[in-house]
Structure 1
């Protein structure tokens, strides 16, 4: 079970009215419980987040700007799951959202968390530690399963360009397929010669990307690609900023 905070019975659907997750859940219909108020769960989650911040897990040195927002969104959706009105059931986070946080955005942070946990420096009930079970979650691509995306993609139509890139170029949608030094880009669906886990199932900006330059997750400073040259794993592409 990826929800680390206990969920007492009975339960009902109602708008989220807390403060800790207001930036992500304000107005959403979430699962409520008569034996525990939103405020009580808010306090418990805020304590977890403060411990993560206090331990420096979201610091610049740890690449905090990449991990913090997806991590907060994920923990909020885990603590306050969306409510399916017809069945009064809590909707779990989608497998792909979980994998993106675990394998990409917060990979280093999770390793550090596990180390802190093993040495007794961190509480064992931190929600991020439960993300190892991503594969047990429902998939957004399975029409027979219901789940909630934690919306870590940061999409905005104004960021989509095909002739130049905006900000870090996460939503660059052009067809440049060679690197700055002229190396051919490897298709994103291929894992040879460069093995990787950047999948269109996790990053929607890679859907239909073929071997075009992209910046999945906004990890780098501009669009890039894996190369087909075994000696050079990846390289940025020669694309102008807008």
Structure 2
């Protein structure tokens, strides 16, 4: 049975993507979360309410040993299942001006986004390579495309994801594994609820924030057979703000 692993799937974009992949492709969803069990259970309940299925998979993406133990144990217990789709969505913001940024804010943002991508993808891609099949979608950001003041750490992390996407795509294309990224702009979520939407939407040609399900539909398309010839791409979804 084909499965999709979505990191950081307990809320926001991750939840919307997990629900959409189950709905569109009938994939068994591995709902990864780090600490918010209640929110992860809500994601799984929504998947099941729409006729899909899955399970919770707890690990912190920034700790390689934790990732490997969780995924290797799951694989041993589920020999008939194959993670054919991986969505690297986990990420955090710790905004602040660079000159005053605590080292811990730099490290946490980089470790969850960039190191997390390394940890999870390196484990999951082994089976994809053997089976000569797979879809990897990395969630980047407009911050990684154009840079955003007050987000030097987040912009750096998302920029790393974008470059890694392009390089890895070339390494694994012959094995029929696609690697793409989506770069959302301002999307309504917990991550943007503190922002001044009325002010910011004036710089967006569409004059509104995006919705999580709009990003989820794009991710779902990139995971489909229809996207088999698209790899190494970064697709902006930002209402017209372009870098």
Quick check: TM above 0.5?
A: no
Q: Which has the higher strand share?
A: 2
| TM-score w.r.t. length of structure 2 | 0.29
Larger radius of gyration: 1
Q: Which has the higher helix share?
A: 2
